[in-house]
C-alpha cells in the first residue's frame, strides 16, 4: 500500500507502468499544458490521479485564460505557488496567476498542491483567504511549520529527509492524519541526494523513504503506509475500504 503524493513522470512510461503494476496510489503532477497532455497518455492506472496547475516557474509562459481549460479537466489543482529562490520571474507576476488559480480551486472545491519556496509567509496569508484542502509539497523551511499545521494543511515529506533538518522537524511534527509521502519524481531524487535514481529502483527508494519516516514517527512501516494512504484518500475525498 505504497503511495506517492507528488510525482513528476518526466515522460517516463516505465515509471508510470511500474506505479500501475504495483498499485502505488499516486498524484501525477502536470505543471504545463504539454505535461498534462503527455501524462494523460502515460498515467492510465486506476490509482494514478493527475493534478494540473501552472508552476510559478512557468507563469510567464501562459495566461490564465490559456490554462483554464486544463484546470477544468483536472480534479486536483497544482502544483501552484510562489518562489523567490529558484526563479527570477517577478513575484508580483507570480501572485496574479497564483491568486486566480487559488480562487478557481476554492470555487470548484478542488484540492490544491502548493509550492512554497522562499514565500512561506505570503502563501500562508493567501490560502487563508481561500479556504480549501491544501497539500504543502516538500516543505523545507524551519519557520511557520506550526502555523501551516494550524491552518489544516496536509504535508508531503521530501526525499532529503536524512540530510534536511527542516524536513526532519516536519516529519516529527505533522499530525499523523495529515502526513503524506512523496518522491517528486526520479529527477528530484537525483537532485536532492546527488545519486543516480534508475527507474528500476523507484519502489526500493520509495520503500526506504517510508522506512525512514516510520523510524522518526516510531511506528511500524505497515501502520505508516496504511495511514498515509488513508490520508491521501481523505485529501482527495475518495472513500475506500482498507
The pLDDT tens digits of the residues spanning 173-183 come to 999 999 999 99
Tell me phi and psi for residue 156, to 5 degrees. Answer: -95, 145
Mean pLDDT (the chain, rounded):
96
The DSSP code for 214 is H
144: left (phi over 0), alpha (psi -120 to 50) or beta: left
pLDDT of residue 241: 42
Q: Is the pLDDT of residue 56 over 60?
A: yes
Residue 136 DSSP SS3 = strand
Average pLDDT rounded to a whole number, residues 46-58: 96
In tens, the pLDDT along 62-114 reads: 999 999 999 999 999 999 999 999 999 999 999 999 999 999 999 999 999 99
Residue 18 pLDDT > 80, yes or no?
A: yes
CB-based burial, 76-91: b 16+ in 10 Å, e otherwise:
bbbbbbbbeeebebeb
Closest CA to 50 of 67, 37, 64, 66: 37
Question: What is the model's pLDDT at position 150?
Answer: 98
Residue 25's φ and ψ, nearest 5 degrees, are -70, 115
Q: How many CA atoms lie within 13 A of 186 on its CB side?
A: 19
Q: What percent of the chain has pLDDT over 90?
A: 95
Whether 240 has a pLDDT exceeding 70, the answer reads: no
pLDDT the model gives residue 239: 57
Which residues, including other chains, have CB under 8 Å from residue 204's CB and lie 6 or more apart?
none
Is 50 exceeded by the pLDDT of residue 242?
no
Amino acid at each position: 500500500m505504497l503511495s506517492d503524493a507528488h510525482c513528476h513522470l518526466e515522460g517516463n512510461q516505465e515509471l508510470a507502468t511500474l506505479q500501475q503494476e504495483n498499485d502505488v496510489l499516486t498524484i501525477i503532477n502536470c505543471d504545463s499544458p504539454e505535461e498534462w497532455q503527455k501524462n494523460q497518455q502515460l498515467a492510465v492506472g486506476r490509482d494514478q490521479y493527475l493534478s494540473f496547475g501552472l508552476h510559478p516557474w512557468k507563469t510567464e509562459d501562459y495566461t490564465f485564460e490559456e490554462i483554464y481549460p486544463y484546470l477544468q479537466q483536472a480534479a486536483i489543482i497544482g502544483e501552484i505557488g510562489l518562489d523567490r529562490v529558484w526563479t527570477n520571474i517577478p513575484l508580483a507576476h507570480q501572485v496574479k496567476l497564483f491568486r486566480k488559480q487559488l480562487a478557481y480551486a476554492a470555487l470548484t472545491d478542488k484540492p490544491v498542491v502548493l509550492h512554497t519556496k522562499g514565500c512561506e509567509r505570503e502563501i500562508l496569508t493567501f490560502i487563508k483567504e481561500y479556504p480549501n484542502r491544501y497539500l504543502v509539497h516538500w516543505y523545507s523551511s524551519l519557520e511557520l511549520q506550526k502555523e501551516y499545521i494550524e491552518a489544516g494543511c496536509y504535508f508531503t515529506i521530501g526525499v532529503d529527509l536524512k540530510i534536511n533538518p527542516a524536513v526532519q522537524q516536519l516529519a516529527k511534527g505533522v499530525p499523523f492524519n495529515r502526513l503524506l509521502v512523496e518522491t517528486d519524481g526520479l529527477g528530484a531524487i537525483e537532485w536532492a541526494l546527488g545519486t543516480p535514481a534508475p527507474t528500476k529502483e523507484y519502489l526500493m527508494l520509495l520503500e526506504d523513504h517510508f522506512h525512514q519516516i516510520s523510524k522518526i514517527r516510531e511506528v511500524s512501516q505497515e501502520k505508516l503506509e496504511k495511514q498515509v494512504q488513508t490520508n491521501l484518500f481523505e485529501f482527495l475525498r475518495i472513500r475506500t475500504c482498507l
